[in-house]
Structure 1
Amino acid sequence: MSDSPRERRSTRAATAAYIAAVAALAVALGIWSGLRYGLPDPAALLVFLLFAVLQVLLPDAVVEGRVRASLSGVILVASQAIVGPAGVAVVGAVLGGIQYKKAPLRNRVFNTAQFSLHGAAGGIVFLLAGGTTDPGSLRDVGAIVVGLAVPLLLADLAQAVTNLLAVVGVMRVAEGVPMRPQALAVARGTGLAHIGYTAIALIMVVLWKPADLGPAAAVIALAPLVVAQWAYRQHAEELEGQRRALEVLVAALEAKVPHLSGHSARVAELSAHMAEHLGLGPQQVADTRVAGMLHDLGQTSLPTRAARNIDLTVGDGRLEYPERGAAMLDDLQFLHGALDPIRHHRVAVATRDDETLLARIVGMADAYDVLTQVGAPGGRVEAPTRAREILLANGADPVLARALDHALARRVDAGARS
């Protein structure tokens, strides 16, 4: 059974209350920072606000759902030493509001608040760690390390932790997914990136104040990051071209079996996020995504009535369409890594063989989406918690179940940011 209207209303109310609490905390921390540590220099604040507005022209580079090069991350860290906690709170609010300006109002409020909140938190930690908002007074390497580099790194870590807690908290309230595995997964995926942001921000601040270049320092420090963004976007465009080609195949399937509309895309997304959570390499993640997208393609080779009457909620390994789908794609070299997962996804779910891991991932994502979104022909769907219980009762690997929790949490996070 699906969640009742009352449960959905209760979840929406709890989510709205959580977002309101985050927003109130962000406003309170920003005001307190101004009273405690003073207001920022208006001219410097204006420069950083202009950098924030540039996010409209140079948004974060995102490849396969993950930020690969972030101007906003560098801007927030560098502003700690230039405009202080109150200034960072304002810059963060503008960054969050601009980046997600097309999102629904509730999502914009949350993102504006959490950017402001983790910006101010980082600014406070920067000062508590011995950082100075007058880096021009630092004249030797030792002073720069103690009064700037180390505090910036600690401030960036504080920002990351505050942001992490806010995001996994809304995941928990909105979707009910466990917080700990999501927090660990996000931390593993972004830790090195934050160190990179700190390094670029340090260069920017040193050039700005001790080297006395002023705002021109931002152009020098951020130029390599802009180039990296361009390269990542080129890669993203190539992947998008391949994705559109695969969608043509999926469209043929959905035209023949209308009740599977959207199923392939959802399975592809869940499969890729599960693979990332399990620590698989980029190529394996890509193969898993493609296999999730095309796992039902073989149904196009069946008579229309037969395809529409298949009960996918039943774990019947005798169905022939997975093998047919793999055979249809056998001549496409760039899809070879996805063929085994397509061929074996229905029979591999209850196994523990590492050699079938990709098939097990796709099979788990497929089974979950069938239970919660597709259902049996003419039948009802299950609530997410009940679907998870069914999968485990049928022999699914608990490790994959936790990876599925992570993937579902990623979906909630993406929804909050879109």
Structure 2
Amino acid sequence: MLIGVPTEIMNNENRVALTQGGVHELVEAGHTLLVQAGAGIGSGIADEDYRSVGAEIVDDAAQVWERAEMILKVKEPVGEELTQMREGQILFAYLHLAASAECTKAILDSKVTALAYETVTRGRALPLLAPMSQVAGRLAPVAGAYHLTQSQGGSGVLMGGVPGTRRANVVVIGGGVAGEAAGVIAAGMGANVKVIDLNLERLAELEKTHQGRLDTLASNAMNIAEAVADADLVIGSVLIPGAAAPKLVTAEMVETMRPGSVLVDIAIDQGGCFENSRPTTHQDPTYLVGDKIYYCVSNMPGGVPQTSTAALTNATLPYIQRVASQGWAGALSHDAGLAAGLNAHNGQLVHRGVFDAMADQLSLNQAHDFTPVEDVLANA
């Protein structure tokens, strides 16, 4: 298969879809790799590194999109990429379609076959989302601690305090992979950490695993409101695979927080789990709502691209190899978890969560714009 890797063009997105090691494995398996010049620079990978393992380096993105049978990206298409997809092409990336009507419409109009890393499953796990969730979770307390400093407009509270002073109170809403990572790092920084989740079994697991370093609380509106009111830092890490994130922290709750408190929304890729969340960039990461600071960078792992690119390739490469060798239909037919990653095909949505999120925004009709993945594969 002819596989293309374009340079990411989202603001300060320095990750790339494959390391040179990943390219080497695919070339050895008989596939042809097109890599746009400069695609790996931000991740510490030079063009010559790719060329030395058999990739063809092309000058611009248009050549990659025009020639490749499968496009590998990190983030969803934006800008000019929205018009470069084409019918019959496979797109494999983090798509987060439930949060972007523009990208969803472009994918439907192009009739591209769109596979989303974030909805691929393995049992109850999300194996291609997990590494980036770990990265974002570990970054969230660091970002929060920095913006709590008074020089950044924060309240001036140190996460771990010092003897004789109070520690910061950190509330993590959502106890999944990202939430656990955020809680562990925040606790390691010396903060008082509370993790809120609906799943009581998950909360028991967190308490057992971390031996009481993380306080846990069942999720309901009253518990969230009380915890948020006493928090210096709130980290939102709620996830419903493929669907828009629920708005669990209301504007009224935030108003009860101390001036200079910080909210970090890891769930912003899926629309965010705070009522006042809106996407920001690494270049301009925060905004104020009253006297509270919101940090809602939609590609947080892009800030540590060498780590993120390596972790991403480690997770995605086995799936990419199967799609490249068996074709998308063959690979999906043999792996129900990979089939869950199919979000759109031939101008129709395939993932129920994405359809439900986009139906009203795009005036979609279930009879014409949605086909279950089983039917797509049966007719492939």
Q: Do both proteins adopt the same fold according to a TM-score greater than 0.5, normalized to the shorter chain?
A: no
Q: Greater share of strand residues, 1 or 2?
A: 2
Q: Which has the larger radius of gyration?
A: 1
Scaled to the shorter chain, the TM-score interval is under 0.3
Q: TM-score, normalised by structure 2?
A: 0.26
